[in-house]
């Protein structure tokens, strides 16, 4: 068994905190929320402190934050319909503002290569932007595959393959095709809004969490696979291989899959954090997951996001409507 | 260029709704005066919070229009849950989302944040019941709607106390 032990409670946001993202190399956490600010937190001595507040960039709630893989740029997505790009090497100057979405931007995410940024929102669209060496952004594609607002994005850890999750209960996958971006699969199985999606380290599995209070595990089956799973031409087929239910009794707002330890963390509207691990004896075609740790009342209100540290793989952050950011040490008990 | 999820319409859809009288004020009990006694929230308190909300198109309260009723207000103080079911006056009422949003905002503002609030359409009383319920349950859409100044003004009108 494992335990999730509280390490720090970070106070500073004046209202609900919506998202958290760890710097790819350093012990540095970015959080954002309804107070329209982004806060950066880092350890100094024994304690964690707010080391920087980025304000003035957004006129409404900052819904999401994402670090570029090199750690130089921070992208922030806001209900004000824009995405801001902040340059760490230029004292966090806001070096670009991406406009184009009709209204609320709900998420933004850098690709593994760092050359692409995906954004999505209430206008039901997913945008793919290319970043050149001078930090200029060009929109490569606007994808209108969902019938409702798009809540969350996840890039494949190795390939230029993007996943999006929506209020329409579906997950869509996209890949590059010549000079265009095309939808390559639809993952249909949740009974309500899909709030969060996360790939595993290998990019063979995808975990999703939903308003329907379940987590689903999807596995990629390549064309001509030995299991007899029908595929979509040259594209792999993603099939639901496991459903985890009964762990949260309110909507599950976020899911994070540690690429170091393999532990899957979920955050819910029931104020609870759950940590799951795949039973190593179970097959990839029928994986079983067990809860290795739970924190009931991890916050006093809904938990909106959970994120694993890259610099310190047993450390996770959670953020809540209660205005707090909390850090958890998840280790063998 | 922001988009409001509900747009008020000007023509009355239900020109002659049926109306009931208002419930009497809650009677005071002796222990109400005693600050040392912690009172759990009860259904009547939830009802009292929502019954005076103004209907968006009639000069009447949600109680008078029978949109909210005491028997459709539930609270579990220990479990920190509140559930209010409301009954649109007609099954195609385009105001259902706005009414539900007003009920939700009233409860969010008045209740301690420990409560989980569900606002739902009374089953079988609206043509778009599932869609309205899903919209009202989506905290992200509700949060975004309340940052829309036009919509917030409409909600605040529903929640304003009318001069006697």
User: Could you identify the residue written with the tokens 């004000």?
Assistant: A80
Please tell me the predicted confidence (pLDDT) of residue A46.
86
Token representation of residue A131: 């970043």
The residues, any chain, with a CB within 8 Å of residue B164's CB and separated by 6 or more, are none
Is a pLDDT exceeding 70 seen at residue B146?
yes
How far apart, in whole angstroms, are the C-alpha atoms of residue A27 and residue A312?
Answer: 7
Please tell me the predicted confidence (pLDDT) of residue B2.
44
CB of A235 less than 8 A from some CB of B: no
CB A185, CB A238: distance < 8 Å? yes
CB of A216 less than 8 A from some CB of B: no
Best residue of B114, B117, B138 to probe chain A, by most A CBs closer than 10 Å: B138
C-alpha A139: how far from its chain's center? Answer: 21
Contacts of B144 in chain A (CB under 8 A): 60-61, 79, 103-104, 122
Is a pLDDT exceeding 80 seen at residue B32?
no
Inspect the interface and report whether the beta carbons of A61 and B139 lie closer than 8 Å: no
Is a pLDDT exceeding 80 seen at residue B15?
no
CB B51, CB B45: distance < 8 Å? no
In chain B, the residue whose alpha carbon lies closest to the alpha carbon of A192 is B134
Q: Average pLDDT, stretch B1-29?
A: 68
Max CA pair span of chain B: 54
Please tell me the predicted confidence (pLDDT) of residue B3.
45
CB B87, CB B69: distance < 8 Å? yes
Please tell me the predicted confidence (pLDDT) of residue B11.
63
Task: Determine phi and psi for A332, rounding to 5 degrees.
Answer: -60, 135
pLDDT tens track for B36-94: 877 889 999 999 999 999 999 899 999 999 999 999 999 999 999 999 999 999 999 99
Using an 8 Å CB-CB cutoff, list residues of chain B that contact chain A: 1-3, 113-114, 116, 134, 137-141, 143-144, 147
How far apart, in whole angstroms, are the C-alpha atoms of residue B108 and residue A22?
Answer: 31
Is a pLDDT exceeding 80 seen at residue B160?
yes
| Closest alpha carbon to A250 in A213, A276, A275 | A213
3-state secondary structure B59-105: CCECCCCCCCCHHHEEEECCCCEEEEEECCCCCCCCCHHHHHHHHHH
Task: Determine phi and psi for A4, rounding to 5 degrees.
Answer: -110, 110
The residues, any chain, with a CB within 8 Å of residue A252's CB and separated by 6 or more, are A195, A196, A209, A210, A211, A213, A214, A215, A266, A267, A268, A269
CB of A35 less than 8 A from some CB of B: no
pLDDT tens track for A202-251: 999 999 999 999 999 999 999 999 999 999 789 999 999 999 999 999 99
pLDDT tens track for B106-143: 999 999 999 999 999 999 999 999 999 999 999 999 99
Beta bridge partners of A137: A131
In chain A, the residue whose alpha carbon lies closest to the alpha carbon of B79 is A270
Q: Average pLDDT, stretch B9-31?
A: 77
- Which helix H or strand E contains A78, and what residues bound it? strand A73-78
pTM: 0.94
Token representation of residue B22: 């208002």
List of chain A residues with pLDDT < 50: none
Considering only the beta carbons, identify the residue of B134, B137, B147 that sits closest to A79. B147
Strands (E), A222-281: 237-244, 252-257, 264-268, 273-278
How far apart, in whole angstroms, are the C-alpha atoms of residue A252 and residue A240?
Answer: 18
Pseudo-torsion of CA A323, A327, A332, A333, nearest 10°?
-60
Q: Kindly indicate whether the ipTM for this predicted assembly is greater than 0.90, answering yes or no.
A: yes
Best residue of A16, A62, A103, A150 to probe chain B, by most B CBs closer than 10 Å: A103
- B122 CB burial (10 A radius; 0-12, 13-18, 19+): middle
CB A53, CB A38: distance < 8 Å? yes
Share of chain B above pLDDT 90, in %: 71
How far apart, in whole angstroms, are the C-alpha atoms of residue B139 and residue A320?
Answer: 13
Question: For residue A271, what are the CA distances in angstroms to A89, A142, A274, A297, A307?
Answer: 37, 35, 10, 5, 15
CB A276, CB A1: distance < 8 Å? no
Q: What is the mean pLDDT of chain B?
A: 89
* DSSP label at residue B25: P
Token representation of residue A286: 């029928």
Question: For residue A76, what are the CA distances in angstroms to A20, A62, A94?
Answer: 11, 7, 10
Inspect the interface and report whether the beta carbons of B144 and A61 lie closer than 8 Å: yes
| Closest alpha carbon to A147 in A110, A193, A101, A111 | A193
List the strands of the sheet with A237-244, edge to edge: A194-199, A205-210, A215-221, A237-244
Q: How far is B3 from chain A (nearest CA, A)?
A: 7
């Amino acid at each position: 068994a494992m335990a999730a032990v509280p390490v720090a409670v970070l106070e500073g946001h004046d209202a609900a905190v919506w998202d958290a993202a760890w710097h790819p190399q350093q012990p540095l956490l970015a959080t954002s929320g309804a107070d329209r600010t982004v806060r950066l937190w880092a350890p100094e001595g024994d304690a964690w402190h707010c080391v920087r507040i980025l304000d003035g960039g957004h006129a409404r709630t900052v819904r999401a934050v994402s670090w570029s893989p090199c750690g130089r740029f921070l992208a922030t997505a806001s209900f004000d319909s824009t995405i801001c790009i902040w340059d760490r090497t230029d004292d966090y100057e806001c070096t670009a503002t991406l406009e184009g979405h009709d209204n609320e931007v709900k998420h933004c995410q850098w690709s593994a290569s760092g050359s692409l940024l995906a954004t999505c929102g209430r206008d039901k669209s997913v945008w793919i932007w290319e970043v050149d060496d001078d930090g200029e952004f060009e929109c490569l594609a606007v994808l209108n595959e969902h019938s409702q607002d798009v809540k969350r994005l996840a890039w494949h850890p190795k390939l230029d393959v993007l996943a999006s999750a929506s209020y329409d209960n579906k997950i869509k996958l996209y890949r590059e095709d010549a000079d265009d971006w095309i939808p390559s699969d639809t993952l249909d199985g949740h009974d309500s809004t899909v709030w969060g999606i996360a790939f595993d380290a290998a990019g063979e599995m995808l975990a999703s969490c939903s308003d329907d209070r379940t987590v689903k595990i999807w596995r990629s089956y390549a064309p001509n696979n030995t299991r007899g799973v029908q595929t979509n031409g040259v594209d792999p087929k993603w099939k639901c291989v496991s459903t985890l239910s009964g762990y949260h009794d309110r909507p599950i707002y976020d899911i994070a899959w540690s690429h170091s330890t393999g532990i899957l963390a979920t955050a819910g509207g029931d104020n609870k954090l759950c940590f799951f691990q795949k039973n190593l004896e179970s097959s990839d075609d029928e994986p079983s997951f067990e809860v290795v740790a739970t924190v009931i009342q991890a916050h006093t209100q809904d938990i909106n996001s959970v994120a694993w540290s890259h610099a310190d793989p047993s450390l996770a952050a959670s953020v809540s409507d209660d205005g707090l950011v909390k850090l958890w040490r998840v280790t063998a008990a | 260029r922001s988009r409001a999820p509900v747009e008020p319409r000007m023509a009355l859809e239900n020109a002659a709704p049926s109306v009931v009288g208002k419930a009497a004020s809650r009677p005071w009990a002796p222990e109400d005066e005693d600050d040392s006694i912690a009172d759990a929230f009860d259904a009547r308190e939830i009802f009292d919070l929502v019954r005076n909300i103004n209907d968006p198109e009639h000069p009447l309260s949600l109680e008078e229009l029978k949109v909210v009723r005491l028997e459709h207000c539930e609270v579990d103080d220990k479990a920190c849950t509140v559930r209010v079911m409301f009954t649109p006056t007609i099954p195609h009422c385009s105001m259902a989302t706005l009414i539900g949003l007003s009920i939700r905002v009233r409860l969010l503002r008045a209740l301690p944040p420990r409560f989980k609030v569900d606002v739902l359409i009374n089953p079988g009383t609206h043509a778009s019941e599932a869609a309205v319920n899903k919209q009202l349950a989506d905290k992200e859409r509700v949060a975004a709607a309340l940052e829309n100044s036009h919509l917030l003004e409409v909600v605040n009108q529903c929640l304003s106390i009318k001069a006697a």
